[in-house]
Structure 1
Amino acid sequence: MRTDTYIPRRLDDAWKLGFWDVDVAAPVLFAFFIGYLSGTKVSFAVCMVTGFAISRWVSKLKADKHPAFAVHWLWWHLPSTPLTSLRATPSSHIRRMVG
């Protein structure tokens, strides 16, 4: 009997883009895209600074919270459309205590 079996511990890690989580990197990528579409260097720089500021704000907001905090926040604050609604959970406007 072998006792040195490997047990993976990191199957459910959050998606990463380099060293950043995807939800922290998304504002920078979106700002990069908008700045590229703008066509001028000044507006590109403004968009990138804004993207980094929003990314920094999101990372501070997520600090010391659940790893899926951004997903939970989006579920509570986005409208319940067929695109964003979940099948197994009630809509976010139903806040009735059971029990």
Structure 2
Amino acid sequence: MLADTYIPRRLDDQWKIGFWDVDVAAPLLFFVFVGYLSGTRVAFLACMGVGMLLSRSIARLTADKHPAFAIHWLYWHLPTSPLTAMSATPPSHLRRMVG
């Protein structure tokens, strides 16, 4: 009974890549990959710069908001597909609900 027991305080933390949340790190990683595929150093650095700017703007946009803000924003602003459609909620193009 003297053993210290670790009790986790946060079970539903957002996924992380290193120190960054996935929604912030994904654009940077995508643009680094695109820059690598380009085959030139100038294009690689340009793509990395674009990825950094986009990641920084996403980080500023999602600061002090719900942890799933980026997913909610994508749901309401991107067209639905069979992969992103939810059966329990109405389609995202129906903005007015009665009831």
- Cα RMSD for the two superposed structures: 1.8
Q: Could you tell me how far 1:6 is from its partner in structure 2?
A: 5.2
5-14 vs 30-39, greater mean Cα deviation: 5-14
Aligned to 2:40: 40
1:42-91 deviations in whole A, cap 9, x for unaligned? 00000000000000000000011100000000110111221211121111
Correspondence 1:1-99 to 2 at 5 A: 7-94=7-94, 95-98=96-99
Unmatched 5+ stretches in structure 1? none
Equivalent residues, number: 97
